Amino acid sequence: MVRDLIKQITLFLAVGVEACAAFVIGVAAVEATIKAFQLFFIRRNVPEEAKDELRLRLGRWLTVALEFELAADILRTAVAPTWDEIGKLAAIVVLRTVLNFFLQREIEKSAANKSNVRK
């Protein structure tokens, strides 16, 4: 009885965390779309750095959303996992970690280029 209640609460939390990730992705995509529209159609002669900043900001928010998604997957698997669920979680963790790594590397590279341009 208590185990079932804990499992239900954990699954409910996982859905909530996943909803947070979807919200972050949605808001970030809307913001990026609006700014991209402004850059490409309203303010045509913008420096390349403005486009990079837009891409970096979106990338940062996507990194946050990936962390939320990973947390939701861990919550789902945390309560009485089967070997199949553990294997799926391991695959998801590897994929999301690789995505996150490359996103973070791109963000750091662009940030370093940005600081070098200012010097």
**94 vs 74: CA distance, rounded Å:** 13
The domain in which residue 81 lies consists of 2-118
With a cut of 60, say whether residue 93 has pLDDT above it. Answer: yes
* Range 3-22 burial, b when 16+ CB lie within 10 A, else e: eeeeeeebeeebeebbebbe
- Residue 2: both structure tokens together: 């208590």
User: What pLDDT digit, counting tens, does each position of 98-109 carry?
Assistant: 888 888 888 788
**Count of domains in the chain?**
1
Q: What is the pLDDT of residues 13-52, one digit of tens each?
A: 999 999 999 999 999 999 999 999 988 887 777 777 888 8
Inform me whether the pLDDT recorded for 118 exceeds 70: no
pLDDT per position as a tens digit, 56-74 = 899 889 989 988 998 998 8
- pLDDT at position 79 is 77
